[in-house]
């Protein structure tokens, strides 16, 4: 808003006679980022004026003219032809100013009757976030479905499983995929819960105290596809918990994406060689021509910090705001919009990465080592009635014996050596040293056996409604 703009042209200007500081106008303006909500702002006005017409505060002819003007403005925004002017401090001001130009201020001046920018922006935000989260839910569902299909197709690939980044026990590659698909499915469930919780209407609460003309808030909520109304007008205009929840969800999701990315970065390294990334999601080195860098995954990992920071920053803005609406709340939009856009791009990039990478099953299986079957060796004795704590110690002695005799693995111990360690070993002990049988023994729910993995994947599909 320009310093020389007449005060009466501002939505709030009647109280003021002096010019404002141009820097203050810039500092106060939010149109550069809240114009993202143009469609939601126009829809809120369309429905709100329907409520005014029901009260007899505008005529049917005036309502028709208002709606005609709103449709023109919507098309102008969609086509990029909307002309922003000095004084358009936010999307609400811009749309109302343009409506007045199209249908005259005598009619356009009535659309704000009983309404405040406090309940208007709260409504716009909920509508916008609801729309964006539904879109994210669709993208996330596609990512999970892509992972499930890959896991089903490559279910026979075996690889080392890790704890402390040390080889631990053999697992299926599909079991690893299922792990992150499980994380992302929980994210998907949480996302839909947030959509449900935020889908209540603040419209019709005015600045803070409620509506002076008794507008039918339930009617407004139904027309805007809300599930109900916020029951307290003070809370309605000042609540930003749905913003915090969305940003927390975004942070948790990006935490999962970061861990997913870190695993794949490790697996794509020369030392591991379990996977090869597609060229579309890699870059080269400006100096070393042999390099193929996993930049897509590194960016996914790095952008998690950006989203975490958005949440932390807004929480600090929000924590000491007194009731009800305060201008600090304008700080909700930039970090929220940035977080949602970052998450959207991250989901799409992750989907591209997982759908195009090439697993190297030979390298995976070549990385399996017999020491990873030490637990299976302990289990062998358990099945013969030996207490596990005792078998754990015995298996450790076998590992040490193999190392002391410079053997390549515990399977290279002779029957005599096994008997020396414990007389309960028998000739069938050598059947223990089979990686496929090792994974197939773990067939309880959640395990790495083929049947268990298939059960996991089917459960995920059920959750997604597939």
Q: Does one domain contain both 377 and 391?
A: yes
pLDDT at 450: 98
**Which residues in 216-255 are b (16+ Cβ under 10 Å) and which e?**
ebeebbebbebeebbeebeebbbbbebbbbbbbbbbbbbe
Residue that finishes a domain, picked among 319, 343, 366: 366
Question: Is 2 contained in some domain?
Answer: no
Token digits of residue 252: 């948790």
pLDDT tens track for 405-444: 999 999 999 999 999 999 999 999 999 999 999 999 999 9
Higher pLDDT, 268 or 17: 268
If asked whether residues 297 and 374 sit together in one domain, one would say no
CATH of the domain at 318: 1.20.200.10
Q: Tell me what the mean pLDDT of segment 78-96 comes to.
A: 94
Instruction: Tell me, yes or no, whether 139 and 93 share the same domain.
Output: no
State the pLDDT confidence band at 12, using cuts at 50, 70 and 90.
Answer: very low
Same domain, 11 and 159: no
Residue of 164, 286, 320, 406 marked active site: 164
285 is catalytic: yes
Q: Are residues 179 and 289 in the same domain?
A: yes
Same domain (yes/no): 175, 293: yes
Q: Could you give the CA distance from residue 159 to residue 365 in angstroms, rounded to a whole number?
A: 5
The answer to whether position 96 is within a domain reads yes
- For the chain, what is the largest distance between any 2 Cα atoms, rounded to a whole number of angstroms? 102
- Identify whether residues 103 and 131 lie together within a single domain: no
Is position 164 annotated as part of the catalytic site? yes
For residue 205, the enclosing domain spans 118-366
Q: Is residue 16 scored above 60 in pLDDT?
A: no
Evaluate if residue 2 carries a pLDDT over 50. Answer: no
Instruction: Answer yes or no: is pLDDT of 8 > 50.
Output: no
Question: How many Å separate Cα 408 from the centre of its chain?
Answer: 45
Structural domain tally of the chain?
Answer: 3
Last residue of a domain, one of 84, 113, 142: 113
Are residues 333 and 386 both part of a single domain? no
Do 326 and 277 have their domain in common?
yes
Q: Which of 285, 408, 414, 451 is catalytic?
A: 285
Instruction: Assess contact for 303 and 250: CB atoms under 8 A.
Output: no
Which CATH number fits the domain that encloses residue 70? Answer: 1.10.275.10
Q: Do 275 and 396 fall within a single domain?
A: no
């Amino acid at each position: 808003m320009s310093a020389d703009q007449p005060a009466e042209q501002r939505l709030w200007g009647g109280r003021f006679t002096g010019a404002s500081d141009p820097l203050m106008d810039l500092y106060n303006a939010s149109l550069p980022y809240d114009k993202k909500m143009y469609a939601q702002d126009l829809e809120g006005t369309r429905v709100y004026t329907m409520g005014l017409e029901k009260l007899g505060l505008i005529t049917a002819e005036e309502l028709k003219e208002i709606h005609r003007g709103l449709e023109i403005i919507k098309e102008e925004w969609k086509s990029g032809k909307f002309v922003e002017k000095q004084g358009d401090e936010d999307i609400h001001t811009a749309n109302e100013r343009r409506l007045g130009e199209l249908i005259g201020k005598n009619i356009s001046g009535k659309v704000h009757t009983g309404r405040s920018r406090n309940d208007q922006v709260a409504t716009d935000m909920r509508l916008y976030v609801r729309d964006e989260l539904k879109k994210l839910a669709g993208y996330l569902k596609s990512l999970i479905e892509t992972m499930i299909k890959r896991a089903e197709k490559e279910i026979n690939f075996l690889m080392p499983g890790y704890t402390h980044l040390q080889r631990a026990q053999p697992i299926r590659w599909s079991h690893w995929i299922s792990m992150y698909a499980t994380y992302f499915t929980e994210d998907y469930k949480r996302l839909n819960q947030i959509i449900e919780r935020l889908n209540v209407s603040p419209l019709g609460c005015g600045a803070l105290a409620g509506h002076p003309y008794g507008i039918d808030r339930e009617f407004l909520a139904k027309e805007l596809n809300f599930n109900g109304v916020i029951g307290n007008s003070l809370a309605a205009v000042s609540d930003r918990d749905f913003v915090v929840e969305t940003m927390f969800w975004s942070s948790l999701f990006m935490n999962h994406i970061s861990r997913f990315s870190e695993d794949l970065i490790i697996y794509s390294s020369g030392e591991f060689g379990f996977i090869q990334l597609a060229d579309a999601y890699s870059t080269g080195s400006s100096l070393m021509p042999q390099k193929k860098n996993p930049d897509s995954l590194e960016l996914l990992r790095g952008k998690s910090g950006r989203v975490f920071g958005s949440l932390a920053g807004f929480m600090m803005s929000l924590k000491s705001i007194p009731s009800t609406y305060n201008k600090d709340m304008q700080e909700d939009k930039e970090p929220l919009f940035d977080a949602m856009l970052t998450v959207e791009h991250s989901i799409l990039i992750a989907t591209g990465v997982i759908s195009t990478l090439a697993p190297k099953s030979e390298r995976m299986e070549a990385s399996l080592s017999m020491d990873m079957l030490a637990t299976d060796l302990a289990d062998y004795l358990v099945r013969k009635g030996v207490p596990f704590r005792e078998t754990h110690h015995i298996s450790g002695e076998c590992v040490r014996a193999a190392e002391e005799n410079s053997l390549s693995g515990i399977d290279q111990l002779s029957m005599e050596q096994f008997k020396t360690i414990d007389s309960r070993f028998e000739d069938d002990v050598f059947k223990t040293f089979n990686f496929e049988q090792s994974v197939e023994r773990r067939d309880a729910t959640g395990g790495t056996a083929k049947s268990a993995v298939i059960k996991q994947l089917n459960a995920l599909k059920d959750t997604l409604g597939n």
